[in-house]
């Protein structure tokens, strides 16, 4: 499905809106309990999609996607470190 990544009016990123509609996300927030199986299944889902994407992308698009995933990972690490820093020690 071809859905825009950015809101045309405000330019705000819409990807999170799509995330909360996904069954995999709904399952996690419903019970708040993450089992090993759920984590493994999600890992496999991501790997499968990345393989599909790698095959589908042109070399130019793949280079952009690789950089985008890398920067997203950096953002994720920043968030994790910030949360860690602001959390009280157990």
Contacting residues toward another protein, per CB under 8 A = 7, 9-13, 15-17, 19-20, 28-29, 72, 75-76, 78-79, 83
Nearer to another protein, 21 or 60 (CB): 21
Closer by beta carbon to another protein, 2 or else 21? 21
Rounded Cα distance between 38 and 28, Å, is 8
Give the chain's radius of gyration (CA, Å).
Answer: 16
* Angle ∠(85,89,90) on CA atoms, nearest 5: 140
Cα torsion angle, 39, 42, 47, 50, sign: negative
CB of 68 to another protein, least distance (A): 12
Task: Give the shortest CB-27-to-another protein separation in angstroms.
Answer: 13
């Amino acid at each position: 499905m071809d859905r825009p990544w950015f809101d045309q009016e405000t330019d705000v990123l819409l990807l999170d809106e799509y995330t909360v509609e996904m069954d995999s996300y709904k399952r996690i927030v419903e019970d708040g309990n993450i089992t090993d199986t759920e984590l493994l299944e999600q890992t496999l889902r991501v790997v499968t999609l990345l393989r599909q994407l790698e095959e589908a992308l042109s070399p130019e698009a793949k280079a952009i996607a690789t950089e985008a995933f890398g920067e997203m990972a950096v953002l994720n690490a920043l968030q994790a470190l910030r949360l860690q820093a602001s959390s009280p020690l157990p």
